[in-house]
Chains A and B, each alone.
Chain A
Amino acid sequence: MHQPGRAAEIKAIGIGRNFGTFRALHDLTLDIGRGEFLALLGPSGSGKTTFLMILAGFLPPSAGRLFSDGVDITDRPAELRSAGMVFQGYALFPHMSVEANIAFPLKVRKMAGADIKRRVTDMVERVGLKGHEHKLPSQLSGGQQQRVALARALVFEPGVLLLDEPFSALDKSLRGQMQDEVKRLHEETGTTFVFVTHDQSEALALASRIAIFNHGELLQVGTPQDVYDRPESRFVAEFLGEINMLPLTNVRPDNGSTTGVYEDQTISLRGRHDVSGDAFLAVRPEHMTIRTESAPGENGIAATTTAATYLGSMTKLDLSTRQGTRLSVSVPNEMAARVSGSGNQVWLTWPAERGILLAR
């Protein structure tokens, strides 16, 4: 049985889930480390909530096993799993006061009245709900309801806290504030956090690791830097932020590094890759530099500017190459002023180590 206050280590092996003939989750294998802050990221319908429901014990998997601290918990009912859950829409008990909501998990554990009182008071203070203890959920703002949901899920010191799109209903400034708060609660409690989001910037900012889902499959898991800088598929590369994709031909190893051809330019990449022939070269816009003409020996391609969008601190330039590939680059405003006249020929360049080679 779980010992309260101790973060859980979770192992999912080959988890699958079908709804009728529809495959919502397929062969998912994932380790969630003790005390880790893992984000499940993916577009709508990719199976994130389904996986969270399986972790919580609300949905049995159609295939695979689930382990918590080495113990098989696949068939363990939800109420015995010690997983706190914050639902999309919070799912507070509408007929109970804030205090009663937070006390609920302690009451069902038959804790002594004085202990409940102490823990609830402490939790109310930690999430900043002092003075609202006797209100009903319907009398609270969205952010306050969110705090009640967090407090209720954390008060019994679960081994893992599961959060399903906890910030999606909040406005932008409140969202930032709640993100900071959740991050602080994670540091304070040391519990394992698993949270679902389809907002990539939120995942990059909060998580210690990100698991990216698409069509019910786990595509890649890694630290934010890993998945952002070293995506293993076109989907991951594009989902995590803007990226320029150049179709390369004739990709082959070339003593220790790799080369490919775009238009009539030879492009080189760091390291050896197991891709050859046709492939995509992906480069993030912030790693590309604009020059008015080419310099010898560096990676680069020619392009013409098609549009400029002023973003305040930067300007976003849209460009097009001779063979029609569309690109975008963020540049300092004064640079943009120099090159953004429509139809201007420019030279785009980037460091070889910033090029990512992806299978076509």
Chain B
Amino acid sequence: MTRHLSNRTGAALTIAPLLLFLAVAYAWPFLGVVKWSFTLPEPGFGQYRTLVADPLVQSVFLRTMRICIAVTLASVIGAYAIAVVWVRGTPTQRMLAEFCILVPFWISVLTRAFGWVALLSNRGLINTWLQSAGIISEPLALVRNELGVIIGMTHFLIPFAVFPLASAMRSLDDRVLLAARGLGASRTRTFWTVFVPMTASGIIGSALIVFVFALGFFVTPAILGGGRSVMVAELVYLRIFQSPDWGLGAAISVVLVLFVGLLMALLFRYVRPKQLV
């Protein structure tokens, strides 16, 4: 119980300052961004029309969706396994899981992204090992592409995906699992027909959180994508800071925020908010 409580307060404390910061530092300036999207370079819906028609913008949106879906799948599956160990493992396994969940929070996102570059690049650890072991002759393209972005983002987001899953698993009555076994179901069968469906709300919550976070990712895709796998956030950055196209950058931002808002509405509609931490 105390363990349970401290995890919850821990997660709440991580999130609360973030929310406050968002409200003060983003809500007000964002109104300015909305204004730009309708006024730059001239008043009207011009930028939104460009957004729908421009093949570059569309391809970035498509890629963003593709990457976010892949990252969400990978993160939720990975986090599910970690959460099972964290909630239902032996005391040693639990400690280990807790360690794996918390340590990434201490390391900056930049460090982690460059860490992955060191591991995945053509002359990185993995390719060197595989080549010296004679498993491959040419280095695998693991980074500076979508795969690299997906790996880096999944690594970053898995810990966040663990919390809603663990919370759903903790609220599950042990006796229901015993009942399934007693009625003749094997461990595997009990897992798939009882455990997983009964943690569905956690899966949905976890998936939405990861997806929403992933949509706005900037640093990780910029480093691991090597400029070739531009995602929406990076596109906004490029429009505003590199080409003087503030109007289009603003319009993309507005669309992104609306989409995230829609997903958040879904999240709170289908998952009780307290299950998220």
Compute how far the CA of A80 lies from the CA of B183 in the bound complex, rounded to whole angstroms. Answer: 9
For chain A residues 42-86, which have a beta carbon within 8 Å of chain B? 56-58, 77-81, 83-85
| Interface contact B173-A91, CB-CB below 8 Å | yes
Q: Which residues of A contact B178 (CB under 8 A)?
A: 56, 58, 78, 85, 87, 91
Kindly state the separation between the CA atoms of A78 and B184 in the bound complex, as whole angstroms: 7
Partner of A105, one of B184, B194, B200: B184
Evaluate contact between A93 and B180: CB separation under 8 angstroms.
yes
A138 CB to nearest chain B CB (Å): 13
User: How far, in angstroms, from A73 to B198 measured CA to CA in the complex?
Assistant: 31
CB distance from A345 to the nearest CB of B (A): 57
Q: Which residues of chain A in 235-275 are interfacial with respect to chain B, using CB atoms and an 8 Å cutoff?
A: none
Cα separation A56 to B178 with both chains bound (whole Å): 10
Minimum CB–CB distance for A12 against chain B, Å:
18
The CA of A91 and the CA of B180, in the complex, are separated in Å by: 9
Instruction: Judge whether B197 is part of the interface by a CB distance below 8 angstroms.
Output: yes
Within the complex, the shortest CB–CB distance from A116 to chain B, in Å, comes to 13
B180 CB contacts on chain A under 8 angstroms: 93, 104
Do the beta carbons of B200 and A95 come within 8 Å of each other?
yes
Asked if B181 contacts A156 (CB within 8 A), the reply is no
Q: Which of B181, B183, B186, B198 makes the CB contact (< 8 A) with A152?
A: B183
Of residues 178 to 214 in B, which have CB atoms within 8 Å of A's CB atoms? 178-186, 189, 193-194, 197-198, 200
Knowing A104-B185, A105-B184, A108-B189 are in contact, say whether A85-B179 is a contact too (CB < 8 A).
Answer: yes
A79 touches B185 (CB 8 A): yes
When distances are taken between beta carbons in the complex, the residues of chain B under 8 Å from A87 are 175, 178-179
Q: Which residue in B179, B186, B200 is a CB contact (below 8 Å) of A91?
A: B179
Contact partners of A81 in chain B: CB under 8 A:
182
- Give B186's nearest chain A residue, CB to CB: A79
Q: How far is the CB of B49 from chain A (nearest CB, A)?
A: 46
Q: Say yes or no: is B176 at the interface (Cβ < 8 Å to chain A).
A: yes
A58: contacting residue among B181, B183, B189, B200, CB under 8 A = B181
Whether, in the assembled complex, A176 has its beta carbon less than 8 Å from a beta carbon of chain B, the answer is no
Q: How far apart are A157's CB and chain B's nearest CB, in angstroms?
A: 12
Chain B's closest residue to A89 (CB) is B175
Closest to A164 in B: B175
Question: In the assembled complex, how far is the CB of residue A43 from the closest CB belonging to chain B, in whole angstroms?
Answer: 22
A92 to B179, CA, bound (A): 8
Q: Among the listed B182, B184, B189, B197, which residue makes an inter-chain contact with A95, where contact means beta carbons less than 8 Å apart?
A: B197
Question: How far, in angstroms, from A94 to B168 measured CA to CA in the complex?
Answer: 14
A84 touches B182 (CB 8 A): yes
Residues 205-262 of B at the A interface (beta carbon under 8 Å):
none
Q: Which one of A77, A79, A89 has the greatest number of beta carbons of chain B within 10 Å?
A: A79
Q: Given the interface contacts A87-B175, A91-B175, A95-B197, does A57 sit within 8 Å of B183 by beta carbon?
A: no
Q: Nearest CB to that of A85 among chain B residues? A: B182
A-B contact pairs, 9 of them (CB 8 A): A56-B178, A79-B183, A91-B173, A94-B176, A95-B200, A104-B183, A108-B183, A108-B189, A156-B183
Could you list 9 further interchain pairs (A-B, Cβ under 8 angstroms) beyond the known A84-B183, A95-B197?
A79-B181, A79-B185, A89-B173, A89-B175, A91-B179, A92-B176, A93-B180, A95-B198, A105-B183
Residues in B lying within 8 Å of A, measured CB to CB: 173, 175-176, 178-186, 189, 193-194, 197-198, 200
What 8 pairs across the A-B complex have the smallest Cβ distances? A105-B183, A91-B175, A91-B179, A108-B184, A78-B181, A108-B185, A85-B182, A95-B197
